[in-house]
């Protein structure tokens, strides 16, 4: 009897804007300072897309790099999932735009909305499709241009976010490599913790919504912090138990890059040393769902993690949503 196909990560990719927005730049835009930002968030700078650029531009570049690393031809990809909260358009999906640009001629393509947990949601779906035998190769991507929905007069939020995209190509794993466990969760009662009020069917764009700033994201910072630490810890515990792993088995811990204090609180809970935590927060800020695949790609290409190593990714986001995944490269 043939065993179940295990999905594995065959390639990684990321793409970031060239423009850097430093804390010193923000000091000229809003009442804040470098010490305040670094102490409370760990962020020193972030990348910002140029006018005229869109989410699909960066997602396409990240997917292209993942394909190149894997050696899989675009025409062999069966599915493209794009996790985003800032799509190019309401429709067609950003996934469709990327599919056409990259020549993924037989791939189905669509967007997935789970905010900063989007990559983990998409990874679980792509893994399930491969394990069920419904697909052989799945591009899992996440990208956002958050600078388009950030209010740069609100110092509590504008210092946090940046733009970028990341991707992985999933395919049949070899040996003992592959996705070992994953968990995804949601709690709609926390919908007002982090949200974008206007632009949908309940509050369509009007002169009034624009004047009130309802097209900018809003966040309850303290509530988000409390939820985030609890979610990161519980999701990490869940996937470790599912996979039969101990924290010391993890070669690289890749958390959502939202806030250094949140990451440190979760890291200390599992006694994970600093050198085994992937951090890009200081350079890129919070890039939403793409922060995990960006960090994974950067650390993999830098040789900080290698084939055979166990990686654990964990994150949380608006919704509220949260999740984690453990896999062996």
Q: Which residues are catalytic?
A: 116, 256, 286
* Whole-angstrom distance, CA of residue 39 vs CA of residue 23: 12
3-state helix, strand, coil split of the chain in percent (to 5) is 40, 25, 40
Through-space distance between the first and last CA atoms of the chain, rounded to whole angstroms: 26
- What are the E-state strand segments in the chain? 7-15, 20-22, 45-47, 79-83, 108-112, 138-145, 163-172, 178-186, 194-195, 218-219, 252-255, 310-317, 321-328
Which among 302, 279, 282 is positioned nearest to 292, based on CA atoms? 279
Q: 163-172 and 108-112 as β-strands: parallel, antiparallel, unpaired? A: unpaired
**Contact at 8 Å (CB) between 250 and 180?**
no
User: 34-41 vs 260-269: helix axis angle to the nearest 10?
Assistant: 30
β-bridge mates for residue 3, sequence order? none
**DSSP structure string for 79-137:** EEEEE-SS-SSSSS-HHHHHHHHHT-TT-EEEEE--GGGHHHHHHHHHHHHHHTTS-S-
Helix, strand, or coil (residue 213): coil
Residues with Cβ within 8 Å of 52's Cβ and at least 6 positions away in sequence, in order, are none
């Amino acid at each position: 009897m043939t065993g179940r196909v295990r999905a594995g990560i065959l390639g990684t990719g990321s793409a970031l804007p060239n423009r850097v927005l430093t804390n010193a730049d923000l000091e000229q835009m809003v009442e804040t300072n470098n010490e305040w930002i670094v102490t409370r968030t760990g962020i020193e700078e972030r990348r910002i897309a140029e006018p005229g650029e869109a989410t699909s531009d960066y997602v396409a570049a990240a997917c292209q790099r993942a394909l190149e690393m894997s050696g899989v031809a675009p025409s062999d990809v069966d599915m493209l999932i794009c996790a985003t909260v800032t799509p190019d358009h309401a429709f067609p999906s950003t996934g469709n735009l990327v599919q056409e640009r990259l020549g993924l001629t037989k791939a189905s393509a669509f967007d997935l909305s789970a905010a900063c947990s989007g990559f983990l949601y998409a990874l679980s779906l792509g893994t399930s499709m491969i394990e069920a035998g419904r697909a052989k190769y799945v591009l899992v991507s996440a990208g956002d241009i958050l600078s388009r929905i950030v209010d740069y007069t609100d110092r509590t939020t504008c210092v946090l976010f940046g733009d970028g995209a990341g991707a992985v190509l999933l395919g049949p794993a070899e040996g003992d490599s592959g996705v070992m466990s994953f968990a995804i969760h949601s709690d709609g009662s926390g919908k007002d913790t982090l949200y974008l009020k206007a632009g949908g069917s309940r509050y369509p764009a009007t002169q009034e919504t624009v004047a009130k700033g309802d097209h900018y994201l809003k966040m309850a910072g303290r509530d988000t912090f409390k939820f985030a630490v609890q979610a990161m810890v519980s999701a990490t515990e869940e996937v470790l138990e599912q996979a039969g792993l101990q924290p010391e088995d993890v070669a690289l811990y890749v958390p959502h890059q939202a806030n250094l204090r949140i990451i440190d609180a979760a890291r200390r809970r599992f006694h994970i040393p600093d050198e085994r935590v992937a951090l890009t927060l200081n350079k890129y800020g919070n890039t939403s769902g793409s922060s995990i695949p960006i960090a994974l790609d950067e650390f993999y290409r830098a040789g900080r993690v290698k084939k055979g190593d166990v990686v654990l990714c964990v994150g949380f986001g608006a919704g509220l949503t949260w999740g984690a995944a453990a896999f062996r490269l």
